[in-house]
Amino acid sequence: MTHDYSAIDWRFTVAPMLDWTDRHCRYFHRLLTRRARLYTEMVTTGAIIHGNRESLLGFSEAEHPVALQLGGSDPHDLAESIRIASAYGYDEYNLNCGCPSERVQRGSFGACLMLEADTVASCVRAMRDVTDRPVTVKHRIGVDDRSDYAFVRDFVGTVYDAGCRVFIVHARAAWLKGLSPKENREIPPLDRDVARRLKGDFPDCVVLVNGQIASVEESEREIASGLDGVMVGRAAYQNPWMLREVDERLYGEEESEVTRVEVVKAMTAYLEAGFADDTNAIRACARHMIGLTLGLPGARRWRQCLSDPKALEAHGPELLLYAWREAFGD
């Protein structure tokens, strides 16, 4: 199938994060940035093929552009997962070759796939055969003692030959033994220069760097260094207000005039329209929005109200508005 790639589509992306970037989080983030590319949590092929598809794959049209990150290592299952997911209209399918968790390793996918580049290539070919949307790969810069540049260059080269043209480089090696996923985000040395070298060796590819990028200003510096884009994770989740700067500073659009209270009202309307009786959805939205007021006087009260089970029971889908009024007034 024909696959179109425009590097600007990946200039700023929000990382897939387990338990964080669900559909409610993505809807919230989209209120702050029109252009950033958003990613789902990783969803395994087994879950898609055998699980509750609407729960796993459903999302709002307002979330576009949105990418589905897949976890798996069987080409047939990955292709079948894309066939199923295509009904939902995702803009991209991303193969996870970076997660180091033991659970993921037991499933023979994630970062351990970097040791099987030919398998990844077969997966990418099978995925590309069933969709005209971009098929991309997120990977580390090494695995355990295989952290020399030649290793990651050869991995990318093999996957490139299978047709992949977008590589999201988590700029740390994955240490598969003895470290938790959290430790794997902090202990292996950060080396973003590897992403720049890959861009130099594969100039027709879209190459993004991921790893400890804390601000839009830092994103600008990475892009100015020759990379096509960045993927930002925890910083965007913990301080989502930073996303308000993305469209103006990275895409040259007009400055966003959205206010925090407008975002709160929009999220309240979102809950009332589709999730008024869904306590889990309301609780999830409250959790995702805790960082919206980071650094403001009243932020502590905001957090307290959003985390209060009695307030959730009393106010339901209006919990967000209640918390805002308690912390900041009308």
Q: Which residues are catalytic?
A: 99
Tokens of 246: 């993305």
Q: Is residue 260 within 8 Å of residue 28, measured between CB atoms? A: no
Q: What is the DSSP string of 49-109?
A: HHS-HHHHH---GGG-SEEEEEE---HHHHHHHHHHHGGGT-SEEEEEE----HHHHHTT-
Tell me if 265 is assigned to a ligand binding site: no
Tell me if 138 is assigned to a ligand binding site: yes
* CA-closest candidate to residue 29, choices 275, 273, 298, 235: 235
Q: How far are the Cα atoms of 70, 284, 330 from residue 10, in angstroms, in the given order?
A: 18, 27, 38
Tell me if 16 is assigned to a ligand binding site: yes
Tell me if 69 is assigned to a ligand binding site: yes
Please, what is the Cα angle at 215 between 97 and 203, to 5 degrees? 50
Tokens of 105: 């390793």
CA distance 127 to 92: 11
Tell me if 170 is assigned to a ligand binding site: yes
For 271, the 3-state DSSP assignment is helix
Tokens of 178: 């003895």
Tell me if 233 is assigned to a ligand binding site: yes
Torsion of CA 93, 91, 253, 269, to 10 degrees: -110
CA distance 175 to 280: 34
CA distance 207 to 235: 20
Backbone CA torsion sign across 38, 42, 47, 52? negative
Q: How many Å separate Cα 18 from the centre of its chain?
A: 9
- Binding-site residue set for FMN: 16-18, 69, 138, 170, 233-234
- Binding-site residue set: 16-18, 69, 138, 170, 233-234
